Amino acid sequence: MPSLDQRVPLRDTPRHWQSMLALELLAVGALVVSMLVTLATPESRAAAPGRIYESLLVTVVFGLPALAALATGALDGGLLRALGLAVLPSLAWTVTVPAGYALRRALGYGLPIPDSPLWAIAGTFLAFGLVGGVVGFLVGRVGLLLWRRRGA
């Protein structure tokens, strides 16, 4: 029976690139699905940008770190790579909010300033990302071990 490594179509590329590719594909998929759901009814088309932003933010911050870590663990990657991917949403938020504020001041339109301090939101996203990253990595690694045991 072929191993999991042999079934992965990108088996000749480094494992962290596979995880990054999976993360990007999930982000694009989440964006497309949220846009289609939001634009399904005519009444929601006016509120589409806000709804897409909210659904994409929740998906990227809470779902993708765990799924990327799951892919990293299942592809026999390292824990540090999984945690590195889990930190990305927090870092992206920390960079995006000041950039949005600067854009708002320069152009009169930009991201709304959150009510909570930036460090509190970034810290919360970091905590969710790290917990999701560790849990996803462990689930992926246990799945890989069970897969290998089944094949042995």
Domain ranges of the chain: 4-151
Q: How far apart are CA 55 and CA 44, in angstroms?
A: 14
Q: How far apart are CA 136 and CA 107, in angstroms?
A: 41
pTM: 0.63
Do 114 and 45 contact (CB within 8 A), yes or no? Answer: no
pLDDT of residue 121: 81
pLDDT, tens digit only, all 152 positions of the chain: 556 556 555 555 556 666 666 766 776 676 666 666 666 666 666 666 666 667 777 777 778 888 888 888 888 888 888 888 888 888 877 877 777 677 667 766 555 566 678 788 888 888 998 999 999 999 999 998 998 888 76
